[in-house]
Amino acid sequence: MGCASSVPDRTARGPNGLNPGGDGPSDAKNLKVKLVLLGDSGVGKSCIVLRFVRGQFDPTSKVTVGASFLSQTIALQDSTTVKFEIWDTAGQERYAALAPLYYRGAAVAVIVYDLTSPESFTKAQYWVKELQKHGSPDIVMALVGNKADLLDRREIPAEEGIEYAEKNGMFYIETSAKTADNINQLFEEIAKRLPRPDTSQ
Amino acid sequence: MASDSTSSSSDSAYDSAADHNPNSDTPINNHDSAIDDHLTSLTLTPLDEDLAPEKEREIEETDQTPMPEIGVTEVEEEAADVLASEVVVEEERESNSVSATGDVGLAWREEEVEAPASPGSSGYAGERGSSNASSASGIEEIGEDQVAERDGGLVNGVADSQPAWIPGKRHVNEDDTSILWRRRKKHFFILSHSGKPIYSRYGDEHKLAGFSATLQAIISFVENGGDRVKLVRAGKHQVVFLVKGPIYLVCISCTEEPYESLRGQLELLYGQMILILTKSVNRCFEKNAKFDMTPLLGGTDAVFSSLIHSFSWNPATFLHAYTCLPLAYPTRQAAGAILQDVADSGVLFAILMCKHKVVSLVGAEKASLHPDDMLLLSNFVMSSESFRTSESFSPICLPKYNSMAFLYAYVQYLDVNTYLMLLTTRSDAFYHLKECRASIEAVFLKSNVLSEVQRSMLDGGMHIEDLPVDPSSRSGSASSHLGQHSPERFRDTYTSLGGPCGLWHFIYRSIYLDQYVSSEFSAPINTPQQQKRLYRAYQKIYASMHDKGFGPNKTQFRRDDNYVLLCWVTQDFELYAAFDPLADKAMAIKTCNRVCQWVKDVENEIFLLGASPFSW
Ligand SMILES: Nc1nc2c(ncn2[C@@H]2O[C@H](COP(=O)(O)OP(=O)(O)OP(=O)(O)O)[C@@H](O)[C@H]2O)c(=O)[nH]1
Ligand SMILES: [Mg+2]
């Protein structure tokens, strides 16, 4: 048998659920945040994440199962870095009940809908309400209208998204995972809005 | 439809805003009782299956009209026909027209009309290709798809934005009125006890509402008489039924596979559904008998279609055993040791697989993993493309382990074919499992596990040309290793293709280990069609050897135009071997002995030995 100590000891760390642990804590210069993406199936959550993390867009659809985990670090102009630990959740109906598992303790929630689908906009509002009830109190929320490249098929006017976001204390952005439009801006904007740890500590 | 996106609540994914008509199934009952009297003329299986003599299992039907050759409305007639007489049909019609709502005939026609609007009321789901999936790749049924492949490509005209998108389910445009649909050799359906379609192998479930209602009518018709319909024969078609609480599964096939095999396939199909949803999905039907389950299976078409495809190429589907990737003993030991460490740290099962073959597998104390669960789990992971893009954490249910509860699976591909699955009961274990994966990968790197795995993929396992001449003379010698494949060795011993004495292929199943090993395919069995035909032949002989009526059959020797098949069952193993149809019987038997000896010689490499968690 192998050496048992080669395996991390689960009991060593407290039960912190699906929240990042291990490698180095956040400090004022290097933030580490848990981010969750929510939204109906097919709105493009995985495409947004893969565009942000790997700079790729794969038009063939790969329905997410459960949730995927990815991480990406960005550097801001004030020479701080932010490491996003991203939960890309499955939008399929059967996983809805499991969402709390992934958004519990999240500092950021990115709620995505498809500009060409009114249904997905309704679903986005459902997620906003759910997070207002059960998410972390100081959670940063972004409302994302994706597939902005499909100009002629737009169903939800920008004003509608902006208005809903403002009413709910979120910021609004329109993206295209396909063209990469506004993808980095989305995450940079989130990073700017993060509450900073007290620098005097 | 039930997929109203605002209806999902956080306490149950299965809550639905579907119909609010709790009585809507009663008219069917009424109409059943109207023809109840005629049921006495049927030969049906008593609920206690074991007491039923073989013959009574079937409702023989001499009508040569193949079932799928008829349109929607005729289907009803045919169905009734199969069950009873013309008179019954008439009466059924009458009672239909009398009852105001919900009778079978009316219900379908209504839904037929509605169909185009409803499927994607989630017209949105249609955005991705009805319910969706991907990997158009390998899933190409040969033979069962005799009709020319013409997918018509993209659904709902979304071609512009997703040029490369190919639906996981093919032939979505077909329904039971289409000639192509009716010509498919093997259909699989899942439906609810109220007749709502849940899954169909071909065609869009929603368009098949009428057909589904017919199937439901047949099943409930018989059930209301206190019986259970298991098999209906109509010409060369077999219709096999499996009832699982509120869920009905049906296979319509003209492939001539034995009833037991088709039933086993329906069992696996049901298991696959349970793996995705758990049996607690039954509760939705308690709340609402007309619950629409299709939204809960959104995006899983590829999972089901790849399982159905595996019925024709993966012997695990009828052997109920798993197979290992051949590996040098020390390599597999090294992999097993680190997986054992992981299991000791609170992981229920740690499984390393390469495609559908096990590299290593460890269970926590007392936990045992059924080969069928492994089959369903690996099928699920391999057919869900998203696992390949990044590490995932997903609820899954192992139906044989515990069909009521979810486990949580950490899944990560380590290379293009090799994936690690760590299963736990703890929903918060992700970060622990992620660390486990890191330490596993570190060990694999040190002991070259992954490069050995890749080499084994290239070399393959047991090549029949390598069957040792006289195993006893070289026992214990170094030559009892795999991977010294030399096609030359037997060229002189036997003139025809394949291995010595006309051996073409074999499968050896170890009963104690729940594992099997199958020889590599070589000429003359080298096309997928030939391989499928051989598996079907094995499947048939397997069913006959395991038929309860026959008792523990020891050997069987069958010669037909295609092969000589030799089957040998003992308490320890089962051997299925295929030979040239001209092979000599005595030589074939001798060769089988050599095969068994060979398997013993190399068992260290082809099987996962020791520390077996399979102790049920
Ligand atoms: N035109 C266009 N298509 C997009 C865009 N983003 C995603 N898509 C397409 O939308 C489909 C679904 O994208 P995914 O990222 O898999 O959707 P998802 O939200 O992750 O879906 P689930 O994993 O099922 O929850 C894919 O076929 C993409 O090609 C976009 O910005 N523009
Ligand atoms: Mg996704």
Closest CA to B191 of B96, B127, B136, B111: B111
Taking CB atoms and an 8 Å cut-off, how many pairs form between chains A and B?
Answer: 181
Pick the range with the lowest mean pLDDT from A182-196, B120-134, B405-419, B464-478: B120-134
pLDDT at B85 over 60: no
Residue B403 lies in a domain: yes
Q: Which of B319, B339, B355 is the last residue of a domain?
A: B319
* Cα atoms in the Cβ-side hemisphere of radius 13 Å centred on B302: 26
Contact B387 A65 (CB under 8 A): yes
- B315 with B434, same domain? no
Same domain as B360, residue B313: no
* Same domain assignment for residues B255 and B334: no
Closest CA–CA distance from residue B523 to any residue of chain A (Å) = 37
Alpha carbon of B13: minimum distance to chain A alpha carbons (Å)? 5
The Å distance, Cα B136 to ligand 1 centre, comes to 18
Within-domain flag for B135: no
* Domain presence at residue B112: no
Identify whether B109 is part of a domain.
no
Q: Is the backbone peptide bond immediately before A157 cis, with ω within 30 degrees of 0?
A: no
Higher pLDDT, B290 or B120: B290
Residue B439, domain extent: 2-23+322-449
What is the mean predicted confidence (pLDDT) over B345-352? 95
| Closest CA–CA distance from residue A43 to any residue of chain B (Å) | 10
B222: left (phi > 0), else alpha (psi -120 to 50), else beta?
Answer: alpha
Q: Do B445 and B468 share a domain, yes or no?
A: no
- Residue B303 to chain A, least CA–CA distance (Å): 12
Query: Which residue from B127, B334, B337 is facing A42, i.e. has the nearest CB?
Result: B127
DSSP summary character for residue A24: -
Give the list of residues 6+ apart from residue B218 with CB closer than 8 angstroms, or none.
Answer: B79, B82, B83, B229, B232, B241
Of the listed ligands, the closest to the CA of A44 is 1
* B387 and B471 in a common domain: no
Q: Which two structure tokens, joined as six digits, stand for B145?
A: 């798809």
Q: Can you tell me which atom of ligand 1 is nearest the CA of A175?
A: 31
Instruction: Say yes or no: B506 and B474 in one domain.
Output: yes
List of residues 6+ apart from B399 with CB closer than 8 A: B270, B271, B274, B275, B279, B372, B373, B376
Interface check A9 vs B, CB under 8 A: yes
Interface of A with B in 154-173 (CB under 8 A): none
Query: Which burial class, exposed, middle or buried, applies to B486 when counting CB atoms under 10 A from its CB (0-12, 13-18, 19+)?
Result: exposed
How many domains does chain B contain in total?
3
Task: Pick A93's closest partner by Cβ from B132, B296, B334.
Answer: B296
User: What is the Rg, in whole angstroms, of the alpha carbon atoms belonging to chain B?
Assistant: 26
The 3-state secondary structure of B167-194 reads: CCCCCCCCCCCCHHHHHCCEEEEEEECC
Residues B580 and B506 in one domain: yes
- Within this chain, do residues B255 and B344 fall inside the same structural domain, yes or no? no
CATH code, domain carrying B389: 3.30.450.30
* End residue of a domain, out of B263, B288, B319: B319
The band of B535, judged by pLDDT with boundaries at 50, 70 and 90, is: very high
Mean pLDDT computed over B352-356: 97
Per residue in B147-195, pLDDT (tens digit) is 333 333 333 333 333 333 333 566 666 666 666 666 678 889 998 888 8
Tens of pLDDT, residues B12-24? 444 333 334 334 3
Segment B439-447 mean pLDDT: 94
Determine, yes or no, domain membership for B29. Answer: no
> Torsions phi, psi of B316, nearest 5?
-60, -25
B611 touches A at CB < 8 Å: no
Q: What are the start-end ranges of the E strands in B418-495?
A: 418-424
pLDDT at B58: 37
Domain of B80, CATH number, reads 3.30.450.70
DSSP string, B300-325: -HHHHHHHHHHTTT-THHHH--B-B-
As a whole number, the mean pLDDT across chain B is 72
CA atoms of B8 and B559, how far apart (whole Å): 59
Provide the residue type at B250 as one letter: V
Last residue of a domain, one of B319, B351, B374: B319
| CATH number assigned to the domain comprising residue B482 | 3.40.1840.10
B341 touches chain A (CB under 8 A): yes
> Do residues B167 and B300 both lie within one domain?
yes
Nearest by CB to residue B386, choosing from A63, A96, A130, is A63
CB contact at 8 A, B613 and B367: yes
Q: Which of B450, B390, B401 is nearest to B424 (CA)?
A: B401
Would you say residue B343 lies in a domain?
yes
Contact at CB, A66 and B395, closer than 8 angstroms: yes
> At B197, is the pLDDT very low, low, confident or very high (cuts 50, 70, 90)?
confident
Strand ranges, E, within B105-259: 186-192, 197-200, 231-234, 237-244, 247-253
pLDDT above 70 covers a percentage of chain B that reads 62
Structure confidence at residue B317 (pLDDT): 96
Q: How far is the CA of B329 from the centre of ligand 2 (A)?
A: 40
pLDDT (tens place) for every residue of chain A, 201 residues total? 434 445 665 544 444 456 655 455 677 788 999 999 999 999 999 999 999 999 999 999 799 999 999 999 999 888 899 999 999 999 999 999 999 999 999 999 999 999 999 999 999 999 999 999 999 999 999 999 999 999 999 999 999 999 999 999 999 999 999 999 999 999 999 999 998 776 554
Q: How far apart are CA B434 and CA B257, in angstroms?
A: 44
Residue with tokens 């009905």: B248
Same domain, B72 and B219: yes
- Report the range of poorest mean pLDDT among B49-58, B270-279, B583-592: B49-58
Q: Which residue from A minimizes the CA distance to B385?
A: A62
| Segment B589-601 mean pLDDT | 94
One domain for residues B287 and B233: yes
Contacts within 8 Å (CB) and 24+ apart, B255-259: B255/B144, B255/B185, B255/B186, B255/B536, B256/B536, B257/B536, B257/B539, B257/B540, B258/B539, B258/B540, B258/B543, B258/B544, B259/B57, B259/B58, B259/B230, B259/B231
pLDDT value for A41? 97
pTM of the model: 0.78
Tell the residue nearest (CA) to atom 7 of ligand 1: A44
Which chain A residues contact residue B348 at CB under 8 A? none
Flag whether B150 is in a domain: no
Using alpha carbons only, how large is chain A's radius of gyration in Å? 17
Whole-number Å distance between alpha carbons of B113 and B126: 18
Output the pLDDT for position B155.
33
B486 and B442 in a single domain? The answer is no
Calculate how far, in angstroms, residue B384's C-alpha sits from the geometric centre of ligand 2.
11
pLDDT for B187 equals 86
Task: Note which residues in 563-602 of chain B have CB less than 8 A from chain A.
Answer: none
Provide the pLDDT for residue B206: 73
Across the interface, which of B163, B340, B431 has its CB nearest the CB of A59? B163
Region B504-526: mean pLDDT is 93
Does ligand 1 come within 6 angstroms of the Cβ of A51? no
Establish if B586 belongs to a structural domain: yes
> Which range among A30-39, B9-18, B107-116, B139-148 shows the weakest confidence by mean pLDDT?
B107-116
